[in-house]
Amino acid sequence: MKFPSVPCRFWLVILILTGCTPHKPLPDPPRVPPENAETDAPRAASIPRWFSFNRGDFCEIPAPSLAPAIDFVPWTEAVRVDSAVLAADSVTGYFLVNRLGLLAFSDGIPRLYRDGLFALATAANLMLLDQAPVIHFYRGDFFAAPPDSIDIPVMVRVQGETMTPILTKNGLGIPGDAQVTDVVYDGEVWRCSIKQNIGQRVAATYRRFRLPGSAIPGTGGGNGERPQYPVLISAGEFRTARSAAPWTDAPDRLHSLLSGLGGKGFEVRCLTPGSTTTTLYRHDTSDDDAPGLSAAAILASGLALALFSDGTLFIQTGQSPKAAFTLPPLPPGFQYGRCVVSGGTLFAAWEETDFYQTGRAGFIAVNLGALP
């Protein structure tokens, strides 16, 4: 399957965002406790560029509040950034945009790659195997129409503009009407959840397996060969593999970056260049009623940053002291999500949410070198 390359066709004049709708921040948003209010308080980031996903592409817009209005749909059917990875060269980053394509950032330039599969299935769990992006596809009937007879590969790898299946339902030995709704890779073995409608109920099973060597990018072959040693596992084993790691396991640099959060409860999805996928760390508190904050973090050579969903950005470059900034406020009902860095630019996803549904979505580009 070939990706038709799609250039960004709309480049508008950058507008100053004084007309944005005021943003209602999360309760008690995180802040580094200032020792000197003039130097340590969070500062506004430089004037950014805003982009939204629209009509099968992405285009530049003045602000999220001015993006074309669209109907809310369940997140599995919405055009939104699902996940992100960063290549080992620290120059290339990827956003997996559900129902649209793979958005690649090289030296700070975004480029969208599309394929017909994105219109047929939910795309999730972007990973890197031998530095090639790998995408998980599945179809479900909880929010959408029941799957039809079209055979959707479970996982594909992307090399250049070509997508090649590396895992199929036939390879796993499961019926065609079953769906692999989630996959987890720990660097050695894979685990997956499988759901199948049987009469009036949904049956869930879980399996552990290894991909054959020929399915790994750079070794040739693949094409959905049967995985090695697929065995049934318990729901508990799968949940353990999918669950967040405790905050005590987080890297020291992440601890240092977020030391000012004190007793707040939060989750951080951490990305490092060349890593297979992100790692989720959870910082729990004794206060069960404390607001749960979420962030996307990047730990790279000479750079550590964490972006919270309300736009609070913690960053440290080189040997400089850590600093706190605020990205431009989003309208009520919007939030920031996954992020990558490419060419000295921070690209961060944003989306409009309403419980399990998503409306407008896109991303922001901020020049890290222009931060005050």
Question: Is 218 a residue whose pLDDT tops 50?
Answer: no
Residue 124: alpha-carbon gap to chain centroid = 9
Rounded distance, CA 143 to CA 247, Å? 34
pLDDT at 147: 55
Average pLDDT over every residue of 196-213: 87
pLDDT-derived band at 154 (thresholds 50, 70, 90) equals: very high
pTM for the full model? 0.84
pLDDT-derived band at 212 (thresholds 50, 70, 90) equals: confident
Rounded distance, CA 189 to CA 336, Å? 32
Asked if residues 148 and 120 have their Cβ atoms less than 8 Å apart, the reply is no
- Pairing between β-strand 345-354 and β-strand 334-342 as defined by DSSP bridges: antiparallel
**Residue, of 215 and 52, whose pLDDT is higher:** 52
Rounded distance, CA 150 to CA 116, Å? 12
Question: Is 365 a residue whose pLDDT tops 70?
Answer: yes
Q: What is the DSSP letter of 276?
A: S
Least confident residue range of 216-220, 278-282, 292-296: 216-220
pLDDT digits (tens, 9 = 90+) for 240-249: 999 999 999 9
Q: Is 266 strand, coil or helix?
A: strand
pLDDT at 286: 65
pLDDT-derived band at 12 (thresholds 50, 70, 90) equals: very low
Average pLDDT over every residue of 311-338: 95
Average pLDDT over every residue of 136-146: 71
Which conformational region is residue 213 in: left (phi greater than 0), alpha (psi within -120 to 50 degrees), or beta? alpha
